Structure 1
Amino acid sequence: MKKKVEILAPAGSFDSMKAAVAAGADAVYMGGSRFGARAYAENPDETGMLEAINYVHLHGRQLYMTVNTLVKEDEMDDLYDYLLPYYQAGLDAVIVQDMGVFSYIREHFPDLPVHASTQMTITGPEGAALMTRMGAVRIVTARELSLEEIRRIYQETGVEIESFVHGALCYCYSGQCLFSSLIGGRSGNRGRCAQTCRLPFDVLRRLDENNPNENKNKKKENGVLNPGDSKYVLSLKDLCTLDILPDILEAGVYSLKIEGRMKSSRYTAGVVRLYRKYVDLYLKNGRKGYRVDPKDRKELLDLFDRGGQTLGYYTEHNGRDMVVCHEKPAFRQENRELYQYLDKTYVEAEVKEPVQGFARVCEGEPLQLTLQYEDPLTGESRMAGGIGAVVQTAVKQPMSKERIEKQLGKTGNTPYYFENLEVETGGSPFVPVQELNELRRSAFEQLTEEILRPYRREIPENRACGTGKGWQNPEEKNLEENNQTGSESEKTSPAQDVELTADLPVQSQKTLFENKKGNKTALYHIHVSVEHPAQLKVALSVPEVGAIYLDSAEFGAEQWNEWVSRCHEADKQCLLVMPHIFRDRAKEYFETHRSRLESAGFDGLVIRAWEELELVREWKISIPLVMDYGIYTMNHRAEDFVREMAPELSMRFTLPVELNSRELGARDSRERELLVYGSIPVMVTAQCIRKTVEGCSKCPEYLYLRDRKKKVFPVRNQCRFCCNTIYNSSPLSLLKDKKQIDRLQPEVLRLAFTSESAAQTGEVLDAYVKTFLHQEPVELEGEFTRGHFKRGVE
């Protein structure tokens, strides 16, 4: 008996889980000791998680476990042994970001439901359809979606939708943020976000001579655009949707998700309590009787106030009113009365379930106790009971019915209470109190087992005799090993140098880029992505550049034919880079220009969002794809699973930017692209810095964020698709890492140019061509970073 609406509560600890249940949550989401996106929460160990699963099931609720981080190659083997106990205990679902994890669960735990995490950045019906086609039973939508976008996803796919309704909002699209990762090594994709967006930043303007959209009459200035107490331009107010709950539910959202696994049990209880109140009000009275008491809004602010509340993106695409801007007050008056009430009523409460009982205590007959429980989740009745010793004949006064009821009714620290206990007596019965207690204890233990039994699962057949590693059986392992290209003598170990000769493994020979200059065979293709025509002009002039990628946010459809022709005339391939985020505005743009896309002659598309992959399939565009690094493939299973999504399409993958050289070697880097130069986006956001500090100009430009350590981060507002990209303060450069790159043997070295001038573009290209193709090492002047190529992430 499925509920019409689900209130889904955060549980960062066992106590928070209990508080959520007490306050009326229908389900909780919780992380275990590994693979969860809140590594710093009080996540339970295996024993605690198993206890939590049993606890929610005894109370007719559900538990979804977060396995929503990206998983490295050498961690995949741990998944089976990690998940198995929870699977057997009846875990209700797993929330997943990593496609390798997704694939692994579908294979080894096929009846364990998978929810596609908000970290997957699902923003449209195409992405939702893709995930459900691959086996997801629920989509957790991106927080930036409007009510209309959610409604369309539901209408076009019918998928079960989970959306955030309360709590913290990330400034960046979830799953696309590398800010914390690149500046401090704490990856949000690995559950260790340092919340860099909550820090103060100065917003600066500089004249970008290379930007053709810049107003040339504008004075050069480096002045701060957000002076005084308005530095928190990346810190968003907390979401609160009580006022629009009917709209959210009628848009097709089934599960109302509350954020807050890092917050207290009191916070969890207080927020769940109020959402329970208003969901029930709507279910009972509909829109007509739905009104929100202002006192309840204030109560939510008393629980946590970062600087006000917002309806988030449900009703507007972005806006200054969503942004905190000002520093959080150092002192806030506590609502002690509210805190004490929540602690007493929910946090410290022991939730008990109603049970019907029938006891028969008749002289000369066995003592009997029967218990009946109705599962609130399924509506099914569960029966249990026991038979004790023969009831004795009272020597003096027989035991009264009232005394028997009182003794049997002491449910103590069990999770039950008697809603009704009927006792039938006969003759002159006498039963020692100890026997009554033992019968009651035994009956409730049996009832607990009976309640939990339907949730439990057996070990999956395909792994019943397994080793706990990532292979189904020895034959499968041997087959996988035999499919690896080359013999053991041919394989190149990451610890060995590669000789730059034609005597290479077969897999690498077919990808050679012939460079006739210097009579040396080049091991790599050089591909270049550009954002401005001046950069394109330089790339066209370099013979060693094999392909040019045009960013669709900057190169308009009206000139696609011209740009492609110019690339082909220069004997170079031309690929179109799709948007980082594919929402309604992007879809409308590409539908409008579909004929241009299909006739321009592009040699490939660079895919950055799941919606784009599905759209290519729907439109039946036969064109090679380059899957960008934001289509995360931290392990080989992830890459294989993405290929399964569209087996009819040719794909080449870009290596993840959060893996170090050793980890890249472990997941195999051959026949793939490696980003070796460029300003890596640390955030892609629906918000607009320009709009926040000065208002919308409808004109693409660069602004700059300066942090407390005087590091400066370029920000580009890309108006065509209405998003902001914040770039790292220093460009990535792996120019000095040729030896390590030679070991990896990527097919393509990609250089990504963003704000560079024509002169800078030429200087960088010259250095990479000479170093990697002509074996003439060149150094670049300036401040660069090696990103994660050396250090990786935890």
Structure 2
Amino acid sequence: MNELVTEKSLSLELLAPAGSFEAFKAAVENGADAVYLGGKSFSARASAANFDLEELQKAVRYAHERQVKVYVTANILIADQEFQELLNYLYALHEIGVDAVILQDVGVAELINKILPEMDIHASTQMTINTSWGVHHLESLGFSRVVLARETSADEMKYIANETPLEIEVFVHGALCIGYSGQCLMSSFIGGRSGNRGTCAQPCRMTYQLVNDENQNLLAQKNTGEHLLSPRDLNLAEELAELERIGIHSLKVEGRMKRPEYVATVIRLYRQAIDRIGDKREGNGVAPLLTPGEHQELLQVFNRDFTSGYFRENLGADLMSYSRPNNRGTRLGRVTQFEDGRLSIKLEAALHPGDGIEFWTGRGREGVTVGQIWKSGIEVAEGLHGETVQIEFLGIAHPGDRVFKTNDALLMEKARHSFQEGREQRKNPLTMRLSGHEGDKLCLEVMDTQRKVTVYSAGVAQRALKRPLTFDYAFQQLGRLGTTPFWLDKLELETDEGIMLPVSDLNEMRRLAVEELLQIAPRQKVDRQTYKQRIELWKQRQAEERTTLINFQKPIPQISVAVSDTSTLQAAIKGGAKRVLIGGEHWRSRRSFSLEEIKTSFADCRRQGVDCVWRLPRILNQTQSDNLLADFKKAAEWEHKPKLMVSNLSELEMMKSIDSNWPFEVDYSLNVFNEASLAYFWRLGAMKVTLSPELHHEQLAHLAKWPGAEVIVFGDLEMMVSEYCPVGATLGGKKGDHCARTCVKEPHFLRDRMRYDFPVETDEECRMHLFNVKILNLYEELAQIRRMGISTIRLQLTRQTPGQIKQIVRLFNEAWNSLNVSKKSAWTSNDGMSELTSLFPEGFTKGHFFRGVL
């Protein structure tokens, strides 16, 4: 007999990272309610050790025996050639019994919704969801949970949580990305390692200088530090009660690349903080959730300094770790003397043999592991706060140099002990009830927090001749649970006095009950044949949709020209543009389109026979979304409803809320990387879909079978969008509550260690947009692109001058028209490339057209 005991789940789930089985055990044994981890494929932390299917099965069993959930990451963009492997992998995860899969790709989400709806799916932070509108769209895709963008504030979290039945998950601790996740192409374009494919090389942790167009290092005299894109680590340990009040379900700790000791320490401390929230709620509200010593342990295990991120406000420079991108450790003391190979340190914290320490000198930093420690010439086991001790040291140091502890040997040992094999402490309490009468078999009912099992003795109870069955004796025998994930908390004994049962019977009853409790609760399973049939139906539907589109849509070869203001719009039209994309971000460096100008521009374009599309911004917070919604409502009343190009799922949902038939297109920021995603947007009514700029030419050729696929062939590649502005944070300061607008005084660039200058643009919402050094230019590949079947190419000219735009549009028009007249066109790229090179002497890049990101 196996009954389900219903109990309301805890309001806050502590979700831990695991990049290895050791880290997984560290998470479980230190109090995680759930663990997220990656398989060997399809994971956004591809360089972690990760789990093969056998290890994953072992992990799921270990977790479920301890009532811990396991979520598996498949949170990357999936290429079409990977779908068969993905389908096999998803079924394996379903059979193993994972509790959910974390996704980025909308095509994969819809796929699972059709072929494996029994599996829960969570929306990764890579989906860039930060508004209630985006969350509403995920509801229709079948998600049960959304991981909000790290840039979402407390007020926005609260509003979103109140507006959706989905579970809300937020990051509470660990490394921060400086740009919006899912929108960052920096690592991808610089080194070919894509964050959207799980291989980010973290170029944001490198050194940069802020320079102007006269090559001046604008921070040279400020001693700011050169890690201008490296944020501090997030720490919301003291905000957990607020997160509970907001309505957050899951608290996520970042760190799948971190060692097990880090996971053990951080999860232990957050577990303690969560468990203390109840005390705060019951009137002891002024006490912090962590003691000063526990905060010190959080600092010690790893920190780049801590920040609350965007939880309360945009912190500007206080968000950043300008001086170093890695672990700072904690302050240990200062050097007082150095002679004869022994270094004297005046301690501000305890020091033990095995500790890692680092000296901060005027020449840089030097680290060493502490061996022996002396005090007044006598070897000691430790040095304490306020004492001056000596250690052996072979480097260079001077009196006054600061010393930091980067590794605490005792803290690491404490962490390792918590997940050591054979010393597992994560056990669930059992309540047992042993009952029966003389002459009957005894009944043992055993309950944990979720289930109840009932077993019976092999023989009947008899009158005791020597040793009757007492409460203490029964508790002793039934409580021998050894290495099982249980401990006996309560026992009720309801038997006749003076009876006995052989100890072998008691032990066997205990064993059978535990064995039954350890059986994984039955789940709704899908047999393999049914799964295959669902897949075939899904493939058939997609093929039929593609065929229908090909038969009924004969796309006209076009060039889209994206511009950002009225003057560049006119330049594009004078250059011969017959299709324009207006709007987008509102740069501070130039005047952008007002709503009235958008209306006027549509009317002007219509008179001139130019196809016009209103291109929307990539990022909008909740307030900005409400403002855009108001503009949509006004535009819906125009004589001719404007065609929209949506850049995120929020905009798509807002538009559909006003008119489900509003004509729209999809921009590249929605990361369409495969047929499934392309089909998803076509199914919703998209007229065109701009493909991901991370696609290789062979992938583009495959997707070109779908009419209306658009490819960017020329222009600025935006590598990052961030709520943090390096210009304002380091130069502008603040005047009252308003930015000093330093960004509009002159152009700014971030210069890397190779002396490449990356242009910085700031929009009217004070977001930083970072562009690639070189312009994308596939002019020489136009003939190949046309042969693929691509009908629409885009010139992304949102930062160029009117003169440049007019010339670029003319060149591409001539080439594209020539290629469309005859497949055997005599067109060559030589003359056009010569003109383009004269416009952009710094050179070009072909992006991922040939190198891809797979």
Distance 1:266 1:537, change over 3 A: same
Identify the residue that residue 681 of structure 2 maps to in structure 1: 642
Distance 1:290 1:55, change over 3 A: farther
Identify the residue that residue 502 of structure 1 maps to in structure 2: none
Distance 1:600 1:147 in 2: 40
Aligned pair partner of 2:720 in 683, 707, 711:
683
Q: Superposed, which structure 2 residues align to 1:257-656 within 5 Å?
A: 257-286=252-281, 288-292=284-288, 293-306=291-304, 308-327=305-324, 328=326, 329=328, 330=365, 331=367, 332-333=404-405, 334-345=407-418, 349-350=423-424, 351-357=426-432, 370=444, 372-375=446-449, 380-385=450-455, 387-388=457-458, 409-420=479-490, 440-449=510-519, 452-454=520-522, 456-459=523-526, 464-467=529-532, 472=534, 477=539, 480-481=542-543, 484-485=546-547, 510-512=554-556, 524-553=557-586, 554-591=592-629, 593-594=631-632, 597-598=635-636, 599=638, 603-620=642-659, 623-644=662-683, 647=684, 649-656=685-692
Aligned pair partner of 1:202 in 191, 198, 209:
209
Amino acid at match of 1:789: F
Identify the residue that residue 229 of structure 2 maps to in structure 1: 234
Matched, 1:127 2:137: no
Distance 1:254 1:6 in 2: 6
Identify the residue that residue 138 of structure 1 maps to in structure 2: 145
Matched, 1:693 2:768: no
Amino acid at match of 1:296: E
Q: Superposed, which structure 2 residues align to 1:152-171 within 5 Å?
A: 152-171=159-178
Could you say what secondary structure the match of 1:453 adopts?
coil
Cα pair 1:655 1:669 within 8 Å, conserved? no
Amino acid at match of 1:713: F
Distance 1:95 1:26 in 2: 16
C-alpha deviation, 1:436, in angstroms: 7.2
C-alpha deviation, 1:685, in angstroms: 0.8
Cα pair 1:88 1:457 within 8 Å, conserved? no
- Show CA shifts across 1:555-596 (max 9, x none): 233432443344344431222221110213533543554566
Distance 1:279 1:565, change over 3 A: same
- Show CA shifts across 1:598-646 (max 9, x none): 43857422211111111111222854212011112222222333345xx
Distance 2:474 2:292 in 1: 50
Distance 1:399 1:249, change over 3 A: closer
- Show CA shifts across 1:300-352 (max 9, x none): 1111112x111110111341100111124554413333333333245664022
C-alpha deviation, 1:762, in angstroms: 3.3
RMSD between aligned residues: 3.3
Cα pair 1:398 1:430 within 8 Å, conserved? no
Matched, 1:764 2:808: yes
Cα pair 2:558 2:793 within 8 Å, conserved? yes
Cα pair 2:750 2:759 within 8 Å, conserved? yes
Cα pair 1:674 1:746 within 8 Å, conserved? yes
| More RCO (CA 8 Å, sep 6+) | 1
Could you say what secondary structure the match of 2:130 adopts?
coil
Distance 1:289 1:755, change over 3 A: same
Could you say what secondary structure the match of 1:7 adopts?
strand
Distance 1:97 1:473, change over 3 A: closer
Cα pair 2:428 2:448 within 8 Å, conserved? no
Distance 1:618 1:361, change over 3 A: closer
Distance 1:353 1:550, change over 3 A: closer
Cα pair 2:451 2:517 within 8 Å, conserved? no
Identify the residue that residue 68 of structure 2 maps to in structure 1: 61
C-alpha deviation, 1:225, in angstroms: 3.1
In structure 2, the gaps of 5 or more residues are: 1-7, 329-364, 368-403, 587-591, 733-738, 820-826
Distance 1:476 1:748, change over 3 A: closer
Distance 2:723 2:253 in 1: 21
Matched, 1:737 2:781: yes
Matched, 1:147 2:154: yes
Matched, 1:792 2:852: yes
Distance 1:246 1:480 in 2: 47
Distance 1:390 1:47, change over 3 A: farther
In structure 1, the gaps of 5 or more residues are: 207-219, 492-504, 513-523
Q: Superposed, which structure 2 residues align to 1:694-733 within 5 Å?
A: 694-695=731-732, 696-698=739-741, 700=744, 702-719=747-764, 721-733=765-777
C-alpha deviation, 1:438, in angstroms: 6.2
Amino acid at match of 2:488: F
Distance 1:136 1:482 in 2: 26
C-alpha deviation, 1:770, in angstroms: 2.6
Distance 1:440 1:621 in 2: 61
C-alpha deviation, 1:714, in angstroms: 0.8
C-alpha deviation, 1:170, in angstroms: 0.5
Cα pair 2:577 2:610 within 8 Å, conserved? no
Could you say what secondary structure the match of 2:264 adopts?
helix
Cα pair 1:607 1:627 within 8 Å, conserved? yes
Q: Superposed, which structure 2 residues align to 1:95-114 within 5 Å?
A: 95-114=102-121
Could you say what secondary structure the match of 1:186 adopts?
coil
Matched, 1:91 2:128: no
Cα pair 1:118 1:175 within 8 Å, conserved? yes
Cα pair 1:162 1:253 within 8 Å, conserved? yes
Distance 2:145 2:581 in 1: 38
Amino acid at match of 2:622: D
C-alpha deviation, 1:103, in angstroms: 0.8
Which deviates more from structure 2 when the two are superposed, residues 628-637 or residues 683-692?
628-637
Amino acid at match of 1:608: S
Count of residue pairs the alignment pairs up = 732
Cα pair 1:266 1:347 within 8 Å, conserved? no
- Show CA shifts across 1:467-500 (max 9, x none): 4xxx6265665565455439xxxx9xxxxxxxxx
Distance 2:599 2:473 in 1: 92
Identical counterparts, % of pairs: 32
Could you say what secondary structure the match of 2:518 adopts?
helix
Amino acid at match of 1:791: R
Distance 1:431 1:258 in 2: 50
Amino acid at match of 1:263: K
Cα pair 2:701 2:789 within 8 Å, conserved? no
Distance 1:202 1:755 in 2: 22
Distance 2:797 2:135 in 1: 32
Could you say what secondary structure the match of 1:253 adopts?
coil
Amino acid at match of 2:753: R
